[in-house]
Amino acid sequence: MKQATRHIALSAPWIDERDEELVLETLRSGWLSLGPTGPRFEELVADAVGARYCAGVSSGTAALHLSMRLVGVEPGDEVITSPYSFVASANCAIYEGATPVFADIDPSTLNLDPAAVEAAVTERTKAIVAVDIFGYPCELDSLLDICERHGLRLVEDACEALGARYKGRPLGSHGHPATFAFYPNKQITTGEGGAITTNDENEHELLVSLRNQGRLETSSWLMHGRLGYNYRLDDVSAALGIGQVERLDSILAARAAVAARYAELLTGVDVDPPLADDDNHVRSWFVYVVKLPEGADRDGVMQRMADRGVATAPYLPSIHLQSYMRERYGFREGMLPVSEDASARTMALPFHARLGDDEQDYVVETLRAVL
Ligand SMILES: Cc1ncc(COP(=O)(O)O)c(C=O)c1O
């Protein structure tokens, strides 16, 4: 095969002049961490998602880890989550000595199936980590109902879903802790970074202490009231985040337009497009994932796309079949058939706010040809 003449990347951040100015301003201020920029960013994120409080942290993974501490997950507990997610959704429970328990997903939403969650509840279950995969809101009301009936806490892994809406209200505004992530492939980026939103002042104070080495609000710099971490979001990253979140609406609209154009171009191509929105679920576009027909050689398709200069990714492998999970817990194929089937057939296409029309045309032409 000859060398591809073009390369279309899977994702790309959208950085503009205002972002650059804000970062430069913070650099020149000399206040690179624990300055005034972090709280400004946090306020904007809280406003954007309709939450009372937002704690910025160093990554989405840090946000998930702290939310385990927040809801009191301890050694010996079980935490139910989705196998069809990024590993951090399950790792956060392991960090606290708890056991991740996977419930299967719904084949159309690719999010947790509430009936499977209910069936997975035991006396040891402490919490549910519900993921909004690919920016599509999970079944919050059913999951909250399960939590209420069994005395569990819900943590929402909205790391891929900033700006999505469930029953008309943004994710993050529904009362329980929600986590967000700002890696460069996300809707908005801070380089590395994340956040936890809550509506409870005490919970927010605990998060602020935990991310800053367990310092108490009243204690001096070298006095620590609890076991904490350095999960702070620095001010340079937060400055970039301010520029990004200021134009969240236009970024989301641009991503939605690219997704809508993919849906049109893919008419007649033998793949299932992502699930469309309905009255209760409005997606925030994170990645554009198609499902190949049963029996398709997905890895071969990806290789032939790569040969023609189009990056794709096998979004997402099932977490329970990752090697460390098999070794640690004895998980194996066949345990979670819906997730495993999705993992074998789903594939992310190049997707970001400024993907050009000609690039999109080329991606779809290439996919049609290699299929
Ligand atoms: C669903 C989900 N949860 C958690 C994370 C972790 O975020 P980070 O990479 O910022 O640690 C990600 C990031 O890709 C994610 O997609």
The whole-chain average pLDDT of the chain stands at 97
* Among protein residues, the one whose CA lies closest to atom 14 of ligand 1: 86
pLDDT tens sequence across 181-197: 999 999 999 999 999 99
What does the alpha-carbon distance between residue 174 and residue 177 come to, in Å, rounded to a whole number?
A: 9
Query: What's the sign of the alpha-carbon dihedral 157, 161, 163, 168?
Result: negative
* Among protein residues, the one whose CA lies closest to atom 7 of ligand 1: 60
Ligand 1 atom having least distance to the Cα of 131: 1
* Ligand 1 and 189: CB distance under 6 A: no
Instruction: Categorize the per-residue pLDDT at 2 as very low, low, confident or very high, splitting at 50, 70 and 90.
Output: low
* Ligand 1 and 180: CB distance under 6 A: no
* Ligand 1 and 132: CB distance under 6 A: no
What does the alpha-carbon distance between residue 233 and residue 248 come to, in Å, rounded to a whole number?
A: 19
Test site for ligand 1: of 105, 160, 237, most ligand atoms within 8 A of the Cβ: 160
* Ligand 1 and 92: CB distance under 6 A: no
**Ligand 1 centroid vs 34 CA: distance in angstroms?**
24
* Ligand 1 and 157: CB distance under 6 A: yes
pLDDT tens sequence across 111-135: 999 999 999 999 999 999 999 999 9
Stated as kind and residue range, the H or E segment containing 200 is none
Question: Phi and psi dihedrals of 38, rounded to 5?
Answer: -55, -55
| pLDDT for 304 beyond 60 | yes
**Ligand 1 centroid vs 334 CA: distance in angstroms?**
26
Order the strands of the 165-166 sheet from edge to edge: 169-170, 165-166, 281-282
For residue 238, which of 211, 219, 200, 215 has the smallest C-alpha distance?
A: 211
Residue 350 vs residues 255, 279, 320, 327, 355: alpha-carbon distances, Å: 12, 27, 26, 33, 8
Instruction: Categorize the per-residue pLDDT at 5 as very low, low, confident or very high, splitting at 50, 70 and 90.
Output: confident
Residue 165 carries which side chain, given as an amino acid letter? R
Ligand 1 atom having least distance to the Cα of 64: 4
